[in-house]
Amino acid sequence: MLEDIKKINNEINEEIISIFNMLHENPELSFKEHHTSELITSYLDSINIPYRRIGQTSIIGILECSKKGRTIALRSDIDALPIEEDSNHAICSQNKGVMHACGHDFHIATLLGTAKTLNSIKEKLSGNILFIFQAGEELLPGGAKEIIESGIFDEYKPEWIGAIHCEPDLTTGKIGIKEGMYMASGDEVFLTVKGQGGHAAMPHKTADTVLIASEIIVSLQQITSRHCPPQIPSVLTFGKIVGNGAVNIIPKEVNIEGTFRTMNEEWRTKAKKLINTIAKSIAENHGAECDVNIIDGYPFLRNNIEYTQKVKKIAIETLGKQNVVDLDIRMTTEDFAYYSQKIKSTFFRVGVGNKDTENSPLHTSTFKADKKALKYSITILSTICSKFLI
């Protein structure tokens, strides 16, 4: 089976690279991926894989193999980021201020290539495969919820869902895997300190909103350092504070913005209550008030241990042990986590770093995935699915 997959992969390589280039040149923001969606449906039509539309731009291809069997699913996100590309590459974004800086163009091309490969060998397989091209991963509430709420999983009942994410810190040809807890939940924290502003030379006649905001930020760090159980990874970071005063003016209002991330849902709920209580009590003690608005983000991402061990074994057999790396947990977020809360899941990394050039991190204006990595990502996804569906 592996030789069949490699042969097909070689035959479609230039075609998939062309699709990747087209996607990279035409990035679209979350939930506005109309051109991207049409490219996907056009390609699925060309290889005779039926599909359904979910919402405005999400697409689910449905491959029925020759014999009845289990259903599995693969997911690619399809949206881009509001970043102006800074690149001297021949292939660059043609949409000003929008860029595939997180590699979703690579993910789409991989999944289309995997769909064509598996469609070519479906007579040797049993069961069904859902190819999920999902909108809006980069923007709350995320497109995964829309897919789940559509009811398609209730209809097809996939036993496992997998997804890749390109990783510039891994060189092309390598993949990275982590069993169990892998990525954090992520909530957005907005605090507004309100008080009687006034002259900076007479702070005793004011509620010093800047000082109060500073005390709130420092005190809230105790949530992760003193209240959080030490075995639970947690991060509370504030990245923005705006007090529109002056050297001699204490403003009436100071706005604070941050993020809270963790890997335990019970602690997550408790911590958000603590943020609310501590921030409000500090403001009240100073004769001010604090409005607290916490927007729930994605839950934590958990890779199913049994299936992820199977994926790792297949990866070692396919790519060699030296090319399969054990990953650590990371406090970044992913709306694939919604799937992982419902279905046995594996979310893993595919190396796209070119060792001969300087690699840029994800979410930067100079990031670009190595096209040579497409062969590896299609091969590993196709092989995993073929092993699960024999």
pLDDT in tens, 10-25: 999 999 999 999 999 9
State residue 117's pLDDT score. 97
Q: Is 105 a catalytic residue?
A: no
In which band, very low, low, confident or very high, does the pLDDT at 164 lie, cut at 50, 70 and 90? very high
Kindly report, residue by residue over 207-229, the tens digit of the pLDDT: 999 999 999 999 999 999 999 99
User: The domain containing residue 251 runs over which residues?
Assistant: 187-295
Q: What is the CATH number of the domain that holds 9?
A: 3.40.630.10
pLDDT above 80 (res 373): yes
pLDDT above 90 (res 90): no
User: For a pLDDT cut of 70, what percent of the chain falls above it?
Assistant: 99
If asked whether residues 171 and 108 sit together in one domain, one would say yes
Average pLDDT, stretch 383-389? 95
Q: Give the whole-angstrom CA distance, residue 197 versus residue 250.
A: 5
Kindly report, residue by residue over 317-352, the tens digit of the pLDDT: 999 999 999 999 999 999 999 999 999 999 999 999
State residue 352's pLDDT score. 96
The interaxial angle of helices 373-389 and 305-319, nearest 10 deg, is 120
Burial class (CB in 10 A: 0-12, 13-18, 19+), 141: middle
Catalytic residue among 28, 33, 79, 167: 79
Q: Is 137 a catalytic residue?
A: yes
State residue 2's pLDDT score. 82
- Which of 295, 326, 344 terminates a domain? The answer is 295
The overall longest dimension of the chain from CA atoms, in Å, is 82
* Beta strands across the sheet bearing 253-262: 234-243, 253-262, 187-194, 289-295
If asked whether residues 179 and 191 sit together in one domain, one would say no
Helix (H) or strand (E) holding 167: strand 160-171
If asked whether residues 145 and 22 sit together in one domain, one would say yes
How does the average pLDDT of the chain come out, rounded? 96
Catalytic residue among 33, 77, 137, 187: 137
Residue (of 301, 298, 300, 292) closest to 272 by Cα position? 292
If asked whether residues 198 and 77 sit together in one domain, one would say no
Kindly report, residue by residue over 166-202, the tens digit of the pLDDT: 999 999 999 999 999 999 999 999 999 999 999 999 9
If asked whether residues 291 and 306 sit together in one domain, one would say no
If asked whether residues 151 and 61 sit together in one domain, one would say yes
- Which of 250, 269, 295 terminates a domain? The answer is 295
If asked whether residues 266 and 157 sit together in one domain, one would say no
If asked whether residues 144 and 215 sit together in one domain, one would say no
If asked whether residues 76 and 221 sit together in one domain, one would say no
If asked whether residues 44 and 132 sit together in one domain, one would say yes
If asked whether residues 317 and 179 sit together in one domain, one would say yes
In which band, very low, low, confident or very high, does the pLDDT at 138 lie, cut at 50, 70 and 90? very high
- Which of 264, 295, 326 terminates a domain? The answer is 295
**Range name among 5-9, 307-311, 348-352, 379-383 with the lowest pLDDT average:** 5-9
State residue 66's pLDDT score. 86
Residue (of 82, 39, 32) closest to 57 by Cα position? 32
Kindly report, residue by residue over 23-68, the tens digit of the pLDDT: 999 999 999 999 999 999 999 999 999 999 999 999 999 999 988 9
pLDDT above 90 (res 303): yes
Alpha helices in 249-372 (DSSP H): 265-285, 305-319, 337-340
If asked whether residues 328 and 316 sit together in one domain, one would say yes
Q: What is the CATH number of the domain that holds 208?
A: 3.30.70.360
State residue 137's pLDDT score. 97
Count structural domains, the chain: 2
In which band, very low, low, confident or very high, does the pLDDT at 358 lie, cut at 50, 70 and 90? low
